[in-house]
Amino acid sequence: MAAPLLSIVDLRVRIGGSQILHGVTFDVPASGVTVLLGRNGVGKSTTLKAVLGLTPAGSQVTGSVTFDGVPVTNTATHRLVRRGLGYVPEDRGIFAGLTVAENLRLAERVAEPDYDTAYGLFPELKQRARQRAGTLSGGQQQMLAIARVLLNPNRLLLVDEPTKGLAPRLVTEVADVVTRVAQTVPTLLVEQNLALVRRVGQDAVVLAAGTVAYSGPIAALLEDEALTRSLLGVGHHHNRTGAA
């Protein structure tokens, strides 16, 4: 078995007096999409933020994170990102007051950013280059947030609920993009939409009560309806929303 790209060991996070993660341990392999699942509020986004060093001021983070064999637990966020960690946050994190072009320019980390890929996937962004990002629709903002990480060569993408709050048509579109991007860059994806998860992911990590409750192939998890229901609180066979 190949060495994992990202290795998280006993990650514990305490924010403002409440313990969010109680010792999370899992690996992200160097290819494909690993999906991070779990009920709302279980700490999926916090896990990504803790890896990046983006937890709020005053929070306590312990445990170790290793990226491509190098310990990065106390590495500054911008240094970690410069090592090839692309982040698409849950709230999209676009800069509303800047134009679309400025949002993209800000994200450039290399001398020759890959605008061909970004504009190739999202031609709409090129047409709207001079528009203020705050006036874009939710779907367009999500495209901008994804396009931003595609400008640079990344070794791992951390993508947090890219389909959240999007119309079904856009969910399909974003799912297509995530699938295509994942063919070239390994991705750790937080996603609630099980239809999408089934389509794009290979491995699943399920969080429950601040620890890892399941780690293994997605297919095995979703086949076990009782397990799925107990861990995720949904009967996915009846879940008809989203991309199917």
Stretch of 9-17, 18-26, 97-105, 205-213 lying at the interface with another protein (CB under 8 A) = 97-105
Is 67 one of the binding residues for another protein (CB under 8 A)? no
Applying CB under 8 A, among 2, 57, 111, 226 the residue interacting with another protein is 57
Is 213 one of the binding residues for another protein (CB under 8 A)? no
Check if the beta carbon of residue 52 is closer than 8 Å to that of residue 81: yes
Count residues binding another protein (CB under 8 A): 23
Check if the beta carbon of residue 201 is closer than 8 Å to that of residue 215: no
Residue-level length of the chain? 244
Check if the beta carbon of residue 64 is closer than 8 Å to that of residue 10: yes
Is 164 one of the binding residues for another protein (CB under 8 A)? no
Q: Which residue, 147, 117, 112, is CA-closest to 129?
A: 147
Stretch of 65-73, 77-85, 136-144, 215-223 lying at the interface with another protein (CB under 8 A) = 77-85
Q: Residue 48 — φ and ψ, nearest 5°?
A: -60, -45
Stretch of 73-81, 186-194, 198-206, 229-237 lying at the interface with another protein (CB under 8 A) = 73-81
CB of residue 84 vs another protein: minimum separation in angstroms? 9
Stretch of 101-109, 136-144, 186-194, 224-232 lying at the interface with another protein (CB under 8 A) = 101-109
Cα distance between residue 230 and residue 238, in whole Å: 15
Q: Which residue has the tokens 């305490």?
A: 14
Nearer to another protein by Cβ, of 56 and 226: the residue is: 56
Half-sphere exposure (Cβ direction) of 21: Cα atoms closer than 13 Å: 29
In sequence order, what are the residues at sequence separation of 6 or more whose Cβ sits closer than 8 angstroms to the Cβ of residue 96? 132, 133, 134
Is 185 one of the binding residues for another protein (CB under 8 A)? no
- Give the rounded distance of the alpha carbon of 6 from its chain centre: 13
Applying CB under 8 A, among 89, 113, 201, 242 the residue interacting with another protein is 89
Contacting positions for another protein (CB under 8 A): 52, 54, 57-58, 76-78, 81-82, 87, 89, 93, 95-98, 102, 105-107, 109, 148, 152
